[in-house]
Amino acid sequence: MAKIKQFADTSAVALSYAIDDAPNASEMTATELKRIPYTSEGFQLSKESQTSTAITKDRRISGSKNTRGSASGSATVEFGHTPFVKDMLSLALMGEWQAGDTGEEFITDSDKLNFFVVEKRVRNTVGGAPMNYMERYFGNLVNEATLEVGSSELVTFAVNTMAAFGDINSADATSDENAGGLVATYTNPAAYEIADSANNIEKVVIKDAQGTPLEIVFSDLSLSVTNNVREQVGVGHEFAAGMAMGKVNVQLSGTVYFYDDTVLKAHLNNEYVSAEITVATSDGTMTIMLPKLKAEAPSANSQGENQDYTQSLTLNGEKGEVTIGTTTPQTLECVIAITKTV
C-alpha cells in the first residue's frame, strides 16, 4: 500500500550565516553558523536558459541549454539590539563596528567588501527517513537593506543579497540533525526585545541646516541603504567571476502629517536637512544619524473629507559629517552613522 507523502512546512526551513569570504564549501574557515530568526526569505539558485536559434525545416526548436548561474536572496527579521542584527548592519554598511570613548560602539558607511556565507536548509521526511536539503550561497554581499517603521507595528529589517556562487547538498538526517551542513555547530540567537514603533522609537528628528528641529511627525517611515552591488561575469565561470559594489545610496522616506511648509521651502531653496532616529529597547539603544539630506519635492494633496492631510516625503543622503563621542569626540565623514550603547 502506498504511503501518504509528507510535504514540507515553512517551519522546516532554516537560514544560517557566517561572516566568511570563502568562494565555496572547501575553502570555508568558519566552524560555526548562526541561525537567523527570519519572518520571510527569498534565497534562490537558478541558471539562465539559452535556446538554439538554428533554422530547421520543421519549425521546431532543436535544443536548449542552461548556462550562467545566478545566486541571490533576501531575509527579513524583526529589529532589535541583538548580535545578528548588528552583523547585518555591518554587512549592509560595508564597514566595521568600532569602540567609542565612553563605551559605545559606532559604525559608518564604508567600502569594505563584507562577504558572508548563507546556508538554507529544508528538512522533510522522505520514504520514512528525515532528510536535509541544503542550498549554500558563497560570496554574498548586501545589495540593499531596509528598516521599516510602520504605525504601531513591529520594526523590521530586510536585506537583499547577491552571491558569487551557490550549490546544493543533501543528506540523511536520521542520526544527525545537521547532516549535510557546512559546519558541525549551529548557534541559535538569544532572546531579545523586538522593537516596535510605539514603545521603542524614542525619537525621529529632522533638523534644518542650522540644527533647529523641524515640526515633523511621521505616520510611517522607511530607511534604505543601497550598495549597487553587481556580479562580474567572465568566460569560463559558471557563476560570477567577481563581485563589486558601487556608490552607497541612502534614502529616508515616509508619510508625515502636514504642519507647515518647512520641507517644501527647504526643497525649493535647495537647502539640506539632517535626521536622527533613536531606537531603544531593554537590550540597548541605537541612534541612526543622517548628517546631510536633500529633500525631493514633498507630495501633498487633499483626497476627500474627514481625512488627515499628509505629505509624502523623500530625503536623499549625501556625504556629511557626524561627531562621535564626548570625552575625545571624533568628526567623521559619512552618509550614515549608527551608534550603539548598552
Whole-Å CA distances, 72 to 19, 66, 319, 324: 16, 17, 29, 35
CB contact at 8 A, 109 and 95: yes
Counting residues of the chain whose pLDDT is more than 90, the rounded percentage is 77
Residue 242 placed within a domain: yes
Q: Note the pLDDT of residue 2.
A: 60
Q: What pTM was computed for the model?
A: 0.92
Residue 54 placed within a domain: no
Q: Is 27 left (phi over 0), alpha (psi -120 to 50) or beta?
A: alpha
Q: Look at the chain and report how many structural domains it folds into.
A: 1
Q: Note the pLDDT of residue 3.
A: 76
Q: Note the pLDDT of residue 267.
A: 82
HEC states along 85-98? Answer: HHHHHHHHHCCCCE
| pLDDT at position 139 over 80 | yes
Counting residues of the chain whose pLDDT is more than 70, the rounded percentage is 99
**CB-facing half-sphere around the CA of 127: CA atoms within 13 A:** 4
C-alpha cell at 225: 541603504
Residue 120 placed within a domain: yes
Residue 18 placed within a domain: yes
| pLDDT at position 138 over 90 | yes
Domain holding 217, by residue range, is 10-48+67-341
Residue 262 placed within a domain: yes
pLDDT tens across 145-203, in order? 999 999 999 999 999 999 999 999 999 999 999 999 999 999 999 999 999 999 999 99
Residue 39 placed within a domain: yes
Least confident range of 226-240, 252-266, 319-333: 252-266
Instruction: Compute φ and ψ for 61, nearest 5 degrees.
Output: -65, 130
pLDDT tens across 97-129, in order? 999 888 899 999 999 999 999 999 999 999 889
State the Cα–Cα distance between residues 322 and 259, nearest whole angstrom. 28
pLDDT tens across 14-59, in order? 999 999 999 999 999 999 999 999 999 999 999 988 999 888 888 8
